[in-house]
């Protein structure tokens, strides 16, 4: 057992070597509960325009898989929760699924993974007994089609199966699911696959009863007196995201499994919510997503596995307005269906920003008090003669309905019209200038390169580093590095 765990640890180190050489990626989920869902070809065009290299589908839609042919985009296809039972009970059903939804499209469509169900252990627990059987049946069908080396099989699970994720070092899977989870981990180990984790700091924060500060959930730096430290390992956690990933590694270790890397298949932050969801704001969503991209793109892992990058899929591409539940459920998308960004998206390792330009904008400061913002807004829309029609109820910039958003629009409109004749961006200390275009969706701020048209496609944003040639940036790889790493891997596997 000690030797096996040592080899598992060595394998993780080697996986980290390869991953760091190639660079971590940030992909995106594409949900379809959208009333005005673009055609498959239009969706792929948007994905290409934004230089997204990895996507996850929740099914195996034939139109999408055909549209993705010859794009090079890596695709994770999904077995729906409704299909899990049938595939788990019938090897022939699994073979038919692989023939129809995978073998028919590769290699033209670059399918690299199958996600079996969505949070099966918590969303459809009655299917848990056949989950791993379904995964095995699919894997055997891939072997029969000689595709098992190209396509990995796994199953996304919620953080809910880890009842006490903090401190990470003492985290463990829910004991009632241990049997299924053990079988799942054994399958992943045997097939050299990876653990798919859905990790949402938004829910960790909003359901946390104020235990953790919101800055911790948003990847913001914490003051020294509020550092989050695991008392057993003394590891410092700079974000709830890292702590969630580490809690999962420790939970696997508690079942004596190591050497299984984690890929975060879902994470995100809603940009609008109901009256009882005050943390679902454009500002918080923008902060979380951009900081997430920077975090993942630094190619490091959580404190317990620092050499293993955390490949991650953002939830999600478009708002799914047909979803039921709280208002926030319909507002996780980073793009509107016309291709415009909900909020500016910065690129890790690059100064580029969606909608970035040489224009200087005037926006409200984050720490401005509401009283002063209201005074500034009143002055700008009154004596300052800013055009504030767009922030009136029912207009394109009314939502999100808060003082900071409305003041930013009014401040900027005033500044764009008056700075050439001496107008300043101060408003009693509540405003600041920025080169980051604050436009979002159909709300176009004065001074934007597309403000005269009132809309349009934002400049492409890549969910990962951008090279000078516009391709996804990868760390340089020497043949010697690859040969050494490969040789070490062979030695370990022997």
Which residues are part of the catalytic machinery?
119, 266
Q: Are 397 and 405 in contact (CB under 8 A)?
A: yes
DSSP code per residue over 210-228: TSS-HHHHTT----GGG-E
Cα(290)–Cα(408) distance, integer angstroms: 20
* Burial call 181-209: b when 16+ CB within 10 Å, e when fewer: bebbbebbbebebbbbbbbbbbebbbebe
Other residues' Cβ atoms within 10 Å of the Cβ of residue 456? 17
Strand partners, 57: 30
Q: Are 84 and 116 in contact (CB under 8 A)?
A: yes
Burial tier of 229 (Cβ tally within 10 Å: 0-12, 13-18, 19+): exposed
Task: Name the helix (H) or strand (E) containing 115.
Answer: strand 111-116
**Structure tokens that stand for 63 in this block:** 């139109």
Cα(296)–Cα(412) distance, integer angstroms: 33
Q: Are 131 and 180 in contact (CB under 8 A)?
A: yes
Q: Are 27 and 55 in contact (CB under 8 A)?
A: yes
Cα(102)–Cα(138) distance, integer angstroms: 11
Q: Is 237 helix (H, G, I), strand (E, B) or coil?
A: strand
Q: How many residues does the chain have?
A: 494
Q: Are 368 and 459 in contact (CB under 8 A)?
A: no
Extract the runs of DSSP E, i.e. beta strands, from 182-261: 195-198, 228-229, 236-237
- Cis peptide, bond prior to residue 107, ω within 30 of zero: yes
Other residues' Cβ atoms within 10 Å of the Cβ of residue 92? 10
* CA 140 remoteness from chain centre: 30
DSSP 103: I
* Burial call 34-50: b when 16+ CB within 10 Å, e when fewer: beebeebeebbbbbeeb
Cα(344)–Cα(356) distance, integer angstroms: 8
């Amino acid at each position: 057992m000690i030797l096996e765990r040592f080899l598992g640890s060595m394998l993780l180190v080697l996986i980290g070597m390869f991953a760091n050489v190639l660079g971590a990626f940030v992909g995106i989920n594409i949900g379809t509960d959208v009333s005005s869902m673009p055609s498959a070809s239009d969706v792929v065009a948007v994905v290409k325009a934004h230089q997204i290299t990895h996507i996850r589908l929740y099914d195996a839609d034939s139109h999408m898989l055909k549209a993705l042919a010859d794009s090079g985009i890596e695709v994770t296809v999904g077995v729906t929760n409704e299909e899990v039972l049938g595939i788990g009970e019938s090897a022939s059903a699994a073979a038919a699924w692989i023939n129809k939804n995978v073998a028919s499209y590769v290699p033209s469509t670059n399918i690299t993974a199958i996600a079996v169900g969505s949070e099966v252990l918590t969303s459809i627990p009655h299917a848990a007994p056949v989950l791993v059987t379904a995964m095995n049946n699919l894997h055997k069908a891939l072997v029969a089609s000689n595709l098992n080396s190209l396509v990995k099989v796994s199953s996304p699970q919620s953080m809910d199966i880890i009842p006490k994720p903090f401190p990470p070092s003492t985290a463990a899977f829910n004991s009632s699911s241990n049997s299924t989870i053990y079988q799942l981990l054994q399958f992943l180990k045997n097939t050299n696959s990876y653990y798919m984790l859905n990790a949402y700091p938004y829910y960790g924060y909003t359901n946390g009863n104020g235990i953790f500060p919101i800055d911790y959930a948003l990847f913001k730096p914490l003051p020294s007196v509020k550092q989050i430290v695991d008392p057993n390992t003394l590891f410092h956690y700079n974000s709830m995201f890292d702590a969630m990933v580490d809690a999962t590694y420790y939970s696997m270790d508690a079942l004596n499994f190591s050497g299984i890397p984690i890929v975060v298949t879902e994470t995100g932050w809603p940009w609008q919510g109901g009256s009882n969801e005050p943390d679902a704001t454009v500002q918080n969503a923008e902060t979380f997503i951009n900081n997430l991209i920077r975090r993942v793109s630094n190619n490091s892992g959580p404190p317990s596995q620092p050499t293993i990058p955390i490949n991650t899929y953002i939830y999600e591409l478009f708002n799914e307005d047909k979803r039921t539940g709280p208002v926030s459920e319909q507002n996780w998308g980073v793009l509107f269906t016309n291709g415009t960004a909900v909020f500016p998206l910065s690129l890790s390792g690059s100064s580029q920003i969606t909608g970035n330009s040489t224009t200087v904008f005037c926006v409200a400061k984050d720490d401005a008090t509401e009283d002063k913002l209201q005074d500034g807004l009143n002055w700008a829309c009154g004596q300052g003669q800013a055009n504030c029609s767009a922030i009136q109820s029912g207009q394109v910039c009314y939502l999100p309905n808060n003082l900071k958003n409305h003041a930013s629009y009014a401040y900027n409109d005033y500044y764009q019209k008056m700075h050439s004749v001496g107008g300043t961006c101060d408003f009693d200390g509540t405003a600041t200038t920025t080169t980051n275009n604050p436009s979002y969706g159909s709300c176009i701020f004065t001074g934007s390169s597309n403000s005269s048209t009132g809309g349009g496609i934002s400049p492409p944003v890549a969910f990962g580093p951008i090279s000078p040639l516009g391709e996804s940036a990868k760390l340089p790889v020497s043949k010697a590095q690859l040969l050494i790493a490969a040789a070490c891997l062979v030695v370990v596997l022997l």
